[in-house]
């Protein structure tokens, strides 16, 4: 199955949860889509941009296996409970990936940043490590709320995991982007202030 289709399906799945709730459809039908997501990628290899490639090699098969088990459980028992654990699983997987990268020479955020800026300075390395830590905290909080929403009823669960969680993630991305631009502007101003032939500002 094409990797791009699987990525789009996985990303849009929480929106489908919300749509199913609005239409009064049972969530367990999503188990069929879980099985599609768990199918091997075309060519049997993960593309370099897949989040799975940031996992330690022995663990790269786990996401597909866990998603398949959730799908099978939903279809076999016709229950939405296993479907509702999907956002929790996603947050746990992302937390593991980001936290594991903190033990490596380059964090996940630094590796992504170097694709756009190969000559990332030392200050950039420190910043990307802090951003990676911030995302770890986000996934802990988001995963905890997703777990709580399971016990709060299908309506609350669908709204949070199909809408609110996306908005929070967008705020996280947007806030980090604005902060990065501000820090880069400050660094450029400092470089201009200390350029040869100029008097550094106090």
Q: Is the pTM of this model over 0.85?
A: no
Higher pLDDT, 87 or 2: 87
Domain layout of the chain by residue ranges: 3-191
pLDDT digits (tens, 9 = 90+) for 155-171: 888 889 888 998 999 99
pLDDT reported for residue 4: 46
CA distances from 161 to 19, 68, 174, 199 (A): 12, 20, 19, 54
pLDDT digits (tens, 9 = 90+) for 37-67: 777 665 444 444 567 777 777 777 888 888 8
Distance, in Å, from the CA atom of 173 to the CA atom of 177, rounded to the nearest integer, reads 6
pLDDT digits (tens, 9 = 90+) for 105-115: 889 888 888 88
Per the prediction, the chain carries an average pLDDT of 79
pLDDT reported for residue 35: 81
Angle 62-77/30-38 helices, nearest 10 degrees? 150
Residue 38 near residue 67, CB atoms below 8 Å: yes
The DSSP 8-state label assigned to residue 160 in this structure reads: I
pLDDT reported for residue 5: 46
pLDDT reported for residue 158: 81
Residue 93 near residue 139, CB atoms below 8 Å: no
Residue 133 has pLDDT above 90, yes or no: yes
Question: What's the token pair of residue 12?
Answer: 């849009």
pLDDT reported for residue 20: 73
Dihedral class, residue 117 (left if φ above 0, else alpha if ψ from -120 to 50, else beta): beta
Residue 179 has pLDDT above 80, yes or no: yes
The DSSP 8-state label assigned to residue 26 in this structure reads: -
Distance, in Å, from the CA atom of 102 to the CA atom of 193, rounded to the nearest integer, reads 34
144 band by pLDDT with thresholds 50, 70 and 90: very high
Distance, in Å, from the CA atom of 48 to the CA atom of 121, rounded to the nearest integer, reads 24
Give the H/E segment covering residue 125. Answer: helix 122-150
> How many C-beta atoms lie closer than 10 Å to residue 125's C-beta?
16
Residue 34 near residue 66, CB atoms below 8 Å: no
Distance, in Å, from the CA atom of 179 to the CA atom of 174, rounded to the nearest integer, reads 9
pLDDT reported for residue 29: 73
């Amino acid at each position: 199955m094409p990797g791009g289709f699987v990525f789009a399906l996985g990303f849009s799945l929480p929106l489908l949860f919300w749509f199913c709730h609005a239409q009064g459809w049972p969530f367990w039908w999503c188990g069929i889509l879980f099985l599609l997501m768990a199918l091997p990628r075309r060519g049997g290899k993960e593309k370099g941009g897949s989040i799975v490639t940031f996992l330690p090699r022995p663990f790269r098969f786990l996401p597909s296996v866990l998603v398949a088990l959730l799908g099978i459980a939903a279809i076999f028992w016709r229950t939405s409970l296993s479907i509702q654990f999907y956002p929790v699983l996603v947050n746990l997987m992302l937390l593991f990936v980001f936290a594991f990268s903190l033990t490596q020479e380059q964090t996940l955020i630094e590796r992504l940043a170097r694709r756009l800026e190969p000559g990332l300075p030392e200050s950039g390395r420190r910043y990307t490590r802090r951003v990676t830590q911030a995302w770890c905290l986000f996934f802990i909080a988001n995963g905890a709320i997703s777990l709580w929403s399971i016990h709060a009823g299908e309506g609350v669960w669908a709204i949070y995991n199909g809408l609110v969680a996306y908005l929070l993630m967008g705020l996280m991305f947007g806030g980090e982007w604005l902060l990065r631009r501000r820090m880069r502007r400050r660094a450029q101003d400092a470089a201009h202030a200390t350029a040869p032939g100029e008097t550094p500002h106090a």
